[in-house]
Amino acid sequence: MLAVESVSKRFGGLMAVDNASLVLEPGGIIGLIGPNGAGKTTLFSMISGFVAPSDGRILFEGTDITGEEPHRRAERGIGRTFQIVQPFAGLTVCENIAVGAYLRHAKRADAIGKARDVARRVGLAAELDRPAGGLTVAGRKRLELARALATEPKLLLLDEVLAGLNPSEIRDIIPVIRGIRDEGVTILMIEHVMQAVMNLCERVYVLAQGRMIAEGKPAAVCADPRVIEAYLGHGAAARLAAEGAAHG
């Protein structure tokens, strides 16, 4: 479905993404994890077309889309959420979701109908006619998810949709994400909440300082010394192993 081939992005002197590759088969939920500043959001922006790679190419369903506009990629079926959630505060929840739905529905009534349908799926049905500006953080995260879903994506890129939610809000939204996967949407999710990654993802890629340093099943990846070092610093894996031995 998606092949990111040796993609790099340079911002001035900084290699935000450095020769990163990734392959997604259709179906399933795949994680993208890594410390802050690793280049995860930049990689999403290159897949969705908001940032042009300095090098490498991106294929979607076998077609090279590297130079395509974000709007064209959305038409192909690549949807994304944004890490910084910015709804149109003056519009209702329904109208905000309809903005996404207009991609495939030219008529207002159809777009609104699609928006209502998506709102139900993400648990926003009761908020449809409220101003988006009045939503809680959890509500805004659901709205962000709904806006992306309303474009009817085949591939959905989720950028930290659980960030800022409390444990019970996370418990509530996990089945929503699973439900989207069950309807046939392939999901690539950036996530810091490891419990959710373990719960949801079949496979995980790990980005650190722009480089893809590991890939595999979540449990194996989290036990990988390279990954522990990337998060906790040089020597951390050895220190943890020594502590583990000391505590039996």
Residues 97-126 that bind ligand ADP (CB under 6 A): none
The least CB distance from residue 135 to ligand ADP, in Å, is: 24
Q: Answer with the entry of ligand ADP, Mg ion, none that 11 interacts with (C-beta below 5 to 8 A by kind).
A: ligand ADP
Q: Which of 8, 20, 41, 191 binds Mg ion (CB under 5 A)?
A: 41
Q: Show the tokens assigned to 149.
A: 């879903």
Residue among 44 and 60 whose Cβ is closer to Mg ion: 44
Establish if 39 lies at the interface with ligand ADP (CB under 6 A): yes
The least CB distance from residue 3 to ligand ADP, in Å, is: 20
Establish if 38 lies at the interface with ligand ADP (CB under 6 A): yes
244: left (phi over 0), alpha (psi -120 to 50) or beta: alpha
Establish if 81 lies at the interface with Mg ion (CB under 5 A): no
Establish if 16 lies at the interface with ligand ADP (CB under 6 A): yes
The least CB distance from residue 83 to Mg ion, in Å, is: 5
The least CB distance from residue 7 to Mg ion, in Å, is: 16
* Calpha distance 130→113 (Å, rounded): 16
Q: How far is CA 176 from the centre of its chain?
A: 14
Amino acid at site 99: V
The least CB distance from residue 243 to Mg ion, in Å, is: 30
Q: Tell me, what DSSP letter sits at residue 127?
A: G
User: HSE (CB half, 13 Å, CA atoms) of 177?
Assistant: 31
Of 29-37, 60-68, 177-185, 239-247, which part binds ligand ADP (CB under 6 A)? 29-37
The least CB distance from residue 92 to Mg ion, in Å, is: 28
Residues 164-223 that bind Mg ion (CB under 5 A): none
How many beta carbons lie within 10 A of that of residue 110, not counting itself? 14
Q: Which of 42, 92, 151, 186 binds ligand ADP (CB under 6 A)?
A: 42
The least CB distance from residue 127 to ligand ADP, in Å, is: 28
Q: Which of 1, 8, 30, 34 binds ligand ADP (CB under 6 A)?
A: 34
* Calpha distance 19→4 (Å, rounded): 10
Closest by CA position to 41, among listed 160, 170, 201: 160
Q: In Å, what is the CA distance from 27 to each residue of 17, 66, 137, 195, 198?
A: 25, 22, 29, 21, 17
49: left (phi over 0), alpha (psi -120 to 50) or beta: left
Residue among 66 and 83 whose Cβ is closer to Mg ion: 83
Q: In Å, what is the CA distance from 184 to each residue of 36, 44, 92, 173, 180?
A: 30, 20, 28, 18, 7
Which residues of this chain interact with ligand ADP, rule CB under 6 A?
11, 14, 16, 34, 36-42
Residues in contact with Mg ion by the rule CB under 5 A? 40-41, 83
